[in-house]
A and B are shown apart, each in its own frame.
Chain A
């Protein structure tokens, strides 16, 4: 297997070179993906250097370190595979709508005074809206460039890089607020666990609490902060968009997942966003959205489970809203107000207002508004 691993490393180096050759030159690449392509080129180059080092380094070639050599090999090839699956795929599957979505994302960043460079946008996502903060790449489903009601999800995705990019002083205060909030989450669960241990509660129940605590620290608090960032910078349209998504996807809005890495339940996301909306002065709109949300839950017959209030207590959701608002203010982002008249903010909030006025004829209003908006960008 010593010969095998050295052969496998050489093969991966060749794959790295082949990947580089797949990155288009300036003429084919266009403006929006140039930074992404440069980043990919430089990352592949570094990975090939590391593979070369792994191949020849005397310490890694010592028989005692064979397992570590395999492990590092897997880690480096994983990174190459990610570049292939994410960056090269985005660059080589350019769509006609990329031009529009890149302008749209830039306009949003401009309006909310986003503290980081505007991400490049690719319009061929097969997995709903998502972002790769390390590549500054946001992926949007193909048809979204032709409709308006889910566009607010872009604001949610813009929240992720604020949390994930380490050591950037421009976003440090946002991260700190999430960090302080997480300390409150830890305190809450540590006290709940301690109390149950004193009462000799079953191990299974205590393990569930540990699982929820881990989910908060690994997923939920970040996701809820992104929901809040979107609410705070866009306003009511984000909550309507969230309701719209729930009607299509997740009906088990009270189900508290204890498996690793699951999203927070829909009820928690809506509740936290309502708290956020109230904090920035949209009390009437929050009440209207709350009413429609309750109506929806009644239609789909969803009832609060007994563990929901323990896993996602209202007190923590309210604190999340307060911490996120402070963080968003401290990094200088523009907070949505009723009188905000920025182009995208107005379009998305007007779209939802129009939808509720005449849901069945909304489509023609939407197409007309979208056409005018595209011309004005």
Chain B
């Protein structure tokens, strides 16, 4: 009944999608035409976190983390809404800063949850 289970969940979940997003960025910086497999995975993730009516608790948790950071960084709630179109049209210039923002959000959360699990926080 400590918070460890919840932190372990956040660590696991943010780590999973952090890998996906970071991998996408690394490839997109080198080759603007990103492979379809990575596009599909990214599209699937983005569509789930921006879906207000998603009923999966894990995506609701991620959406809530991202929504809080958007608000704190004074970005409009619609900031991520154009990503699916930017992925489809290979608009890497518009897409990269947004994915980088998501990477920073998930990385912070991931690191914080690990420190809490280890008792450093």
Binding site for B on A (CB under 8 A): 59-60, 62, 64-65, 68, 71-72, 74-75, 78-79, 81-82, 85-86, 127-134, 139, 153, 156-157, 160, 163-164, 166, 175-176, 178-180, 182-183, 186, 210, 213-214, 217-219, 221-223, 245, 261, 263
Contacts and interface: CB of A to CB of B under 8 A. Distances in A.
B41 interface: no
Contacts of A245: 1
Contact of B2 (A65, A86, A130): A130
Interface residues of B, number: 45
Contacts of B67: 214
B18 to A, nearest CB: 6
Contacts of A263: 3
State the 9 A-B residue pairs at the shortest beta-carbon distance, nearest first: A179-B55, A217-B64, A130-B4, A127-B2, A164-B9, A160-B5, A130-B2, A78-B114, A128-B2
Given A130-B4, A178-B57, A59 B68 contact: no
Contacts of A160: 5-6, 9
B9 A133 contact: yes
B65 interface: yes
Given A86-B8, A164-B5, 18 more contacts: A60-B26, A62-B30, A65-B25, A75-B15, A75-B19, A75-B22, A75-B107, A78-B110, A82-B117, A85-B118, A139-B4, A160-B6, A166-B56, A175-B57, A176-B55, A179-B57, A183-B55, A217-B63
Contacts, number: 132
Contacts of A62: 29-30
A261 B115 CA distance: 13
Given A79-B15, A81-B114, A182-B57, A131 B5 contact: yes
Nearest to B65: A218
Nearest to B114: A78
Contacts of A86: 8, 117
A156 B1 contact: yes
A40 to B, nearest CB: 15
Interface in B76-99: none
A261 B113 CA distance: 10
15 contacts: A64-B30, A65-B30, A68-B25, A74-B111, A81-B114, A82-B114, A86-B8, A127-B4, A132-B8, A134-B12, A153-B1, A163-B57, A166-B56, A175-B56, A217-B63
